[in-house]
Structure 1
Amino acid sequence: MSYEDPYLVISSDCHAGLPTEEYRPYLEAAQHRAFDEFLAQAQARREEATRLGVRNEAFAQKWFEEHEEGLRGGWDAAQRDKELDGDGVAAEVVFPDADAVDSRTAAPFGVGLGLSGDQDPVLGMAGARAHNRWLADFIRAGGSPERRCGVALLPITAEPGLVVAEVRRAHADGLGAVMIPSMWVDKAPYHDRRYDPVWAVCEELRMPIVTHSGAAPRHEYGDHLGIYVTEVTFWPARPLWFLLWSGVFERFPGLRFGVAESGCWWLPNLLWFMDRLYLGAHGGKKLSPFSELTMAPSAYVDRNCFIAATNTKRRELAHRYEIGVGTICWGSDYPHPEGTWPNTRQWMRTTFHDIPIDETRRMLGLNCAEVFGFDTAKLTPIAERIGPRPADLGQPEDQSAVEAAWAPAREVGRHWLTGHDFPFLGTAAPTEGRTL
């Protein structure tokens, strides 16, 4: 590709959902009474969120006043495309819950981003199916289905046959991925073989499985909001090592698993730690062999995993050679206030201005296209019309200085495997005689 070619930008993390009360036509009639009771409790839930500090009344009022038109894109496809165009985003992966301030677009029975393993099995599946039906209609009827990959809600701790059936139904309806609970609570952990039929059908249908930040044991935090925000990204990351160490990625080599809206800052140290254990570092020698694995953990992450690293930070990009350039999928988080919308173009310039162009292309869109199966040929005309170009991001046409600046970090890569120290530790040296 040439310097003049625009970036094909795909957001790995966006959100859509109806105003909650409008989900009624998508619910089975048997659940309408329970749905009325759920709606009646909405104000009480908002008041409790305000009391706990999860909701800021002054911020909420200002946010809705200043962004009223753009926020309609949470369920209005035409407005949504207008907002994506303004941000330079050609396509998106669509998670639930468009409103992350007042929860007025929450999926029925709280099965959106708060989906948890202890969900009522009947109401949980009913609410998930209602959202999944609406999302499929939304994508089909919006006039630009090539721009969206819908993520089906999947209460995976329910009876396995029902879970598999919903995966197949959602896939047949045009959805392209599934979101499972970050927390199984009192149900079987994800190393349990009861989930193998779910992993198998997702591998068969090439539907990536994703966890997303949101659920957490909030009852443990009391009024101490800092505890919640410190560990809210821990819970969606936790299933990764349950799947990896139990051999799920070994048994299902084509399965793709991702962690969304939890950053990727935690992954370098996790890979270092897990690889050292597997490769026989001193601290792991007393343990039994990890018989479920035939490769180092980082190799499974490279093959099976991706990180939907919403609003990717400079610090994270500085560690991209440890994380894996092919693992990072940028996201805007539209239309949530903690994301980059409506200032995405400036965010991209600030974040990627000194990153090599070929790597920027991968992290801003091509990685996501590969994971979620976007048709890049159909998206190219959209990117030509709205996509930012390297010059827009402040990236020079002559990349020699940029490449030279990053060469030491690229050479070091995963230092525990390459035999190099970090660049700031001085001259690279082999690891012989030292610990990993």
Structure 2
Amino acid sequence: MTAQNETTASSVTAAQRLTAAPNEQNDPYLIISSDCHAGLPTEEYRPYLDSRFHREFDEFLAGRDRRREEMTRLGVRNEAFADRWFSDNEQGLRGGWDAVQRLKELDGDGVAGEVVFPDADAVDSRTAAPFGVGLGLSGDQDPDLGMAGAQAHNRWLAEFVGQNPERHCGVALLPVTGEVDRVVAEIHRAKESGLGALMIPSMWVDRAPYHDRRYDPVWAAAAETAMPLVTHSGAAPRHEYGEHLGIYVSEVTWWPARPLWFLLWSGVFERHPGLKFGVAESGCWWLPNLLWFMDRLYLGAHGGKKLSPFAELKRPPSEYLDRQLFVCATNTKRRELAQRYEIGVDNILWGSDFPHPEGTWPNTREWLKNTFHDIPVNETRRMLGLAAAEVFGFDTAKLAPIARRIGPTPAELGQPEDQLAVEASWARSREVGRHWLTEHDFPVLGVDR
């Protein structure tokens, strides 16, 4: 049995343990969205911001109209779409900061739990965290302002998710490129406040890249507190693109993925085996080829023979992926599901992206039916919620009654009762799995395939 087949088998076993019984084919799904968003209307962050930064905050607020005009000019903001979006969804969008409305929207989508990133408004940026440290969190921000803005959002978010803690995992903003002692202190403060994960910049700009040992205390603190690190799409060198929006769109998922190979090849996951790391809202279509390429390099493929050994790693990259990495694969596509045995079923965490227009809300149930209709139920349970519960520490016992009340059933997703036939239809894909680790593709280490 290959490593990937072993992973798949263990996933099925875990799914059977976490569901009430294997024969309850039509039990509602316990769905956890690994990518949702919340944030106050920007001006309302003032009470959560240290008063010594209020003057700078006023200047930041004063520049909102200018920034919105610039977004429109560059094509990032479509004015006609924006007007229609806010008009059609006015009440539901209040769920971005109103806890009561939020539960109504989650229930309507069948989502029992969620991982909460910043920036509820992805159209006009009306809910941007102070000083642009939400999804635009990057190493090019002033360290003091960056930490102040992050802490203001984190304080509010802790209050927000604390109203219904069993249903939310709040993601603290962490300007990791600042002073290490302050960063570590914010990790512990965020944990004590009830937040459950950490969003780090996908771009460090002119600051030390993530292979630098100066960050080791940060990685150690994240592992100690059991707070997964996550990057999220958003930050990118937009000044380089001019008015050519296609360049930005082509690269926007590459930037949050980039820290993965910096952390992996520098041995961070080997030195900190308790550290979890994920990439959010960047798809997972890019991962199979990257994994194939990295595994072969490590295992001694012909194209890498002239390179020195990768001493920082003690195992192939795919083993670190299965042990410590995950992808918050928002709006998981059919093409990506077809590659799930290469990526690893347990490594794909579905997300709705609520309340962003590029997400599945408010039509999540229909979207799930169109996407998962022929996926085995046990694998669907993992990708739609159970894997996320393990990564982000959700209490499935507390979520179970909610899931029974609101969750769609396999039948409602169009999944047939004859699961043996469904399993059989995917048998060949499952058997092939990570083909580059099989004797067929790599019979002798060093043979290029």
**Taking structure 2 as the reference length, what is the TM-score of the superposition?**
0.94
CA RMSD of aligned residues (A): 1.2
Q: Matches of 2:132 and 2:234 in 1, distance apart? A: 11
CA distance, structure 1, for counterparts of residue 309 and residue 445 of structure 2 = 23
Structure-2 separation of matches of 1:408 and 1:10: 29
Q: Which amino acid aligns with 2:138?
A: S
Residues 264, 316 of structure 1: 8 Å contact kept: yes
Cα displacement string for residues 275-302 of structure 1 (whole angstroms, at most 9, x for unaligned residues)? 0100010000000000001100111111
- For 2:361, the equivalent position in structure 1 comes to 341
SS in 1 for 2:36: strand
- The match for 2:30 is 8
Q: Alpha-carbon deviation of 1:139?
A: 1.3
2:412 is the alignment partner of 1:392: yes
Does 1:113 find its partner at 2:126? no
Aligned to 1:255, which of 266, 269, 275? Answer: 275
SS in 1 for 2:370: helix
1:82 equivalenced with 2:104 (yes/no): yes
The counterpart of 1:71, out of the listed 93, 97, 102, is: 93
Q: Secondary structure at the match of 1:101?
A: coil
Q: 1:430 to 1:76 in 2, by over 3 A?
A: same
| Aligned partner (choices 278, 287, 291) of residue 307 of structure 2 | 287
Letter in 1 for 2:122: A
One-letter code of the match for 1:108?
A: P
- For 1:383, which of 380, 403, 428 is the aligned residue? 403
Conserved 8 A contact 1:420-1:431: no
Q: Are residue 126 (structure 1) and residue 148 (structure 2) matched?
A: yes
Q: Bigger CA drift: 393-402 or 175-184?
A: 393-402
Contact 2:77 2:124 in 1 (8 A): yes
Please state how far the C-alpha of 1:430 moved relative to its aligned partner.
6.6
Q: Deviations over 1:11-38 (max 9, x none)?
A: 0000000000000000001000000000
Shift of 1:420: 4.7
Q: How many residues align structurally? A: 427
Secondary structure of 2:332's aligned partner: coil
* Kept in 1: contact 2:346–2:382 (CA 8 A): yes
Unaligned runs of 5+ in 2: 1-20
Q: 2:223 aligns with which of 189, 203, 212?
A: 203
Superposed displacement of residue 434, structure 1:
5.8
Of 207, 212, 224, the residue aligned with 1:187 is: 207
Unaligned runs of 5+ in 1: 422-428
Q: Does 1 or 2 have the higher relative contact order (CA < 8 Å, sep 6+)?
A: 2
Q: Is contact 2:303-2:448 (8 Å) kept?
A: no
Within 2, Cα distance between the matches of 1:129 and 1:414?
42
- Deviations along 1:336-384, one digit per CA (max 9) or x if unpaired, are 0000000000111111000000000000000100000000000000000
- State the identity %: 78
CA distance in 2, matches of 1:334, 1:235: 22
Indicate the residue corresponding to 1:313 in structure 2.
Answer: 333
TM-score, normalization: structure 1? 0.97
Match of 2:57, SS state, is helix
CA distance in 2: counterparts of 1:25 and 1:308, whole angstroms: 32
Q: Does 1:99 align with 2:112?
A: no
Counterpart CA distance in 2 for 1:375 and 1:433 is 45
Name the structure 2 match of 1:435: 448
Distance 2:440 2:228 in 1: 34
Deviations, residues 197-245 of structure 1 (Å, cap 9, x unaligned): 0000000010000000000000100110000000000000000000000
| Number of the residue aligned with 1:51 | 73
